[in-house]
Structure 1
Amino acid sequence: MIKKIKELLWNKKYAVRIAKKNGIKLNKNHWRIIKFTRNFYYKFYISPSIRILLTAINKKYKINITSIDLIKLFPKNPSLQISKISGIPKPNKCF
């Protein structure tokens, strides 16, 4: 039930608004990461690690996003910013 409520509260407008508050203008790679993160969370009920995220994104889209690229996409704290924009709880290892 809680899962359904959270899904209903999150939408693309919400993601754009949160990203804008964090100084991020979302592009195709941001959306790929957001979509993957949301799907991963609702399948396993945990946020993906950066390593899992990058491996999966690069394999699925046949691109090469590195951890440096991820920092450029989400400059303040990639794990935390991705979670916020994706509308999922922050990762356990986030300070």
Structure 2
Amino acid sequence: MGIYIDGQSIETDKEGHLKNLQDWNETVAERLAAQENIVLAQAHWEIIYLLREFYQEFELAPAMRPLVKRVAQKLGGDKGRSVYLMQLFPPSPARVAAKIAGLPRPPNCF
């Protein structure tokens, strides 16, 4: 499986997560988001880059609870709510946002 951008094939797993995390860039993110019927706005990019920082620090993509907590710490309580994240990345914010950020599926995310 994979996605094609500018004639280049980028491998994904059966759920659409990148197999090679180094293949990620903003164009790839936009294509992955389009597959989820999401048009990325500034609010999405804040979460995507926050997730990538989290992954660099802890070497895993956060599940929903740690994601909400991290967003609240870094971006404030108004954004650190599951309802806010659900609006941006339905139907499963931790899983969908991780995919768009080029990260593996978070543990315990359905």
Over 6 Å off, 4+ runs: none
Q: Which residue of 2 aligns with 1:57?
A: 71
TM-score of the superposed pair, with normalisation by structure 2: 0.71
Secondary structure in structure 2 of the residue aligned to 1:89: coil
- Give 2:37's aligned residue: 23
> 1 or 2 for the larger relative contact order (CA 8 Å, sep ≥6)?
1
Equivalent-residue separation in structure 2 for 1:12 and 1:23 (angstroms)? 16
Structure 2: which 5+ residue stretches go unaligned?
1-19
Structure with the higher helix share, 1 or 2: 1
Higher strand content, 1 or 2: 2
Distance 1:88 1:43 in 2: 13
Q: Aligned match of 1:80 in 84, 95, 98? A: 95
Which residue identity lines up with residue 68 of structure 1 in the other structure?
A: V
Aligned-pair CA distance for 1:81? 0.5
Percentage identity across aligned positions? 36
Render the CA deviation track for 1:30-84: whole Å, top value 9, x for unaligned.
Answer: 1111101111112211112323323332332345122111111111221211111
Counterpart amino acid of residue 64 in structure 1: D
What TM-score do you get using the length of structure 1 for normalisation? 0.81
